[in-house]
Structure 1
Amino acid sequence: MYDVIGIGIGPYNLGLAGLIDQTDEVDGIFFDDTPKFEWHPGMLVEKMDLQVPFMADLATFADPKSPYTFMNYLYENNRMFAFYLYQNVKIPRQEYNDYLQWVAGLLDNLSFGSTVVDVLDRKEEEYYTVRVEDKMTGEITDYDTKHIVMATGTEPLVLDGMEHFPNEDVLHSSRYLFEKEQLLKSKDVTVVGSGQSALEIFLDLLEEQERQDMNLTLLTRSGGLFQLDQAKFAQEMFTPEYIDYFHALSEEKRTEALGTLKPLRKGIDPDTLTRLYRKLYHRTAGGEDSNVFIQPMTEVNNIAFENGRYHLDCYQWQEEEPYVHSTKKVVLATGYEPSFPDWFLQNFEDKIEWEEEKQYKVTRDYKLVFKEERSHQFFTATGLTHSHGTGATNLGLAVHRNVHILNAIAGKEVYRNQENPAFQTFSVKDL
Structure 2
Amino acid sequence: MAKEIKDIIGIGIGPFNLGLAALADQTDEVDGLFFEQTIEFNWHPGMLIEKMDLQVPFLADLVTFADPKSPYTFINYLHEHNRMFPFFFHRHFEIPRQEFNHYMQWVAKQVDGLHFGHTVIDVIDHNEEKTPHYEVIVEETTTGERKHYRSRHVVMGTGNEPIVLDGMDRLPNEDVLHTSRYLFQKDQLLKSRHVAVIGSGQSALEVFLDLLEEQERSDMKVTLLTRSGGLFQLDTAKFAQEMFTPDYVDYFHSLSFDQRKEALSTLDPLRKGIAPDTLTRLYTKLYHRTTAMEDSRVLIQPMTEIKGIEASEKGGYDLQCRQWQEEYDYTYHADKVVFATGYKPHLPSWFMDRYKDEVEWEADQMYKVSRDYQLEFKDGRDHHFFTLTNLVHSHGAGATNLGLSVHRNVHIINTIAGREVYKNQKDTTFQTFSMKHPK
Mapping for residues 123-202 of structure 1, pairs under 5 Å: 123-125=127-129, 126-202=132-208
Matches of 1:113 and 1:273, distance apart in 2: 39
Moved more, 34-43 or 286-295: 286-295
The residue identity in structure 2 corresponding to 1:422 is T
Matches of 1:293 and 1:337, distance apart in 2: 28
Among residues 116, 119, 143, which one is paired with 2:120 in the alignment? 116
How far the C-alpha of 1:417 sits from its partner, in A, is 1.6
Matches of 1:393 and 1:223, distance apart in 2: 25
Contact between 1:3 and 1:146, CA under 8 Å: does it hold in 2?
A: yes
Mapping for residues 204-353 of structure 1, pairs under 5 Å: 204-307=210-313, 308-353=315-360
2:431 matches 1:427:
no
Contact between 1:284 and 1:290, CA under 8 Å: does it hold in 2?
A: no
How far the C-alpha of 1:315 sits from its partner, in A, is 1.1
Matches of 1:375 and 1:201, distance apart in 2: 46
How far the C-alpha of 1:139 sits from its partner, in A, is 1.1
Q: Deviations over 1:296-347 (max 9, x none)?
A: 1111110011221201111111111111111000000000000111110001
> Which structure 1 residue ranges, 5 or more long, are not aligned?
none
SS in 1 for 2:61: coil
How far the C-alpha of 1:213 sits from its partner, in A, is 2.1
Contact between 1:45 and 1:177, CA under 8 Å: does it hold in 2?
A: yes
How far the C-alpha of 1:430 sits from its partner, in A, is 2.5
Q: Deviations over 1:80-103 (max 9, x none)?
A: 001000000100001000000000
Q: 2:46 is matched with which residue?
A: 42
How far the C-alpha of 1:385 sits from its partner, in A, is 0.3
> Which structure 2 residue ranges, 5 or more long, are not aligned?
none
Matches of 1:290 and 1:354, distance apart in 2: 51
How far the C-alpha of 1:212 sits from its partner, in A, is 2.3
Matches of 1:4 and 1:268, distance apart in 2: 37
How far the C-alpha of 1:412 sits from its partner, in A, is 0.8
The residue identity in structure 1 corresponding to 2:403 is G
The residue identity in structure 2 corresponding to 1:316 is Q
Matches of 2:281 and 2:322, distance apart in 1: 28
2:419 matches 1:412:
yes
Matches of 1:181 and 1:259, distance apart in 2: 38
2:95 matches 1:91:
yes
2:71 matches 1:67:
yes
Matches of 1:288 and 1:243, distance apart in 2: 48
How far the C-alpha of 1:358 sits from its partner, in A, is 2.7
The residue identity in structure 2 corresponding to 1:228 is L
How far the C-alpha of 1:167 sits from its partner, in A, is 1.4
What count of residue pairs does the alignment treat as equivalent?
431
How far the C-alpha of 1:429 sits from its partner, in A, is 1.3
The residue identity in structure 2 corresponding to 1:114 is H
SS in 1 for 2:436: helix
SS in 1 for 2:197: strand
Give the TM-score taking structure 2 as reference length.
0.97
The residue identity in structure 1 corresponding to 2:105 is Q
How far the C-alpha of 1:200 sits from its partner, in A, is 0.2
The residue identity in structure 2 corresponding to 1:284 is T
The residue identity in structure 2 corresponding to 1:200 is E
How far the C-alpha of 1:290 sits from its partner, in A, is 4.1
Matches of 1:386 and 1:317, distance apart in 2: 28
The residue identity in structure 2 corresponding to 1:10 is G
Matches of 1:314 and 1:290, distance apart in 2: 20
Alignment root-mean-square deviation, CA: 0.8
Q: 1:57 is matched with which residue?
A: 61
Q: Deviations over 1:210-236 (max 9, x none)?
A: 112211110111111000001100110
SS in 2 for 1:259: helix
How far the C-alpha of 1:287 sits from its partner, in A, is 1.4
Q: 2:403 is matched with which residue?
A: 396
Matches of 1:285 and 1:186, distance apart in 2: 26
Taking structure 1 as reference, are residues 167 and 88 closer, same or farther at Cα in structure 2, changes over 3 Å only? Answer: same
Matches of 2:371 and 2:379, distance apart in 1: 18
Matches of 1:163 and 1:254, distance apart in 2: 34
Give the TM-score taking structure 1 as reference length.
0.99
Q: Structure 1 segments of 4 or more deviating over 6 A?
A: none
Q: Deviations over 1:31-58 (max 9, x none)?
A: 0010000000000000000000000000
Matches of 1:92 and 1:267, distance apart in 2: 19
Contact between 1:314 and 1:324, CA under 8 Å: does it hold in 2?
A: yes
Matches of 1:242 and 1:315, distance apart in 2: 38
SS in 2 for 1:406: helix
Alignment identity in percent? 67
How far the C-alpha of 1:106 sits from its partner, in A, is 0.5
Matches of 2:267 and 2:288, distance apart in 1: 34
Moved more, 46-55 or 159-168: 159-168
Matches of 1:319 and 1:212, distance apart in 2: 32
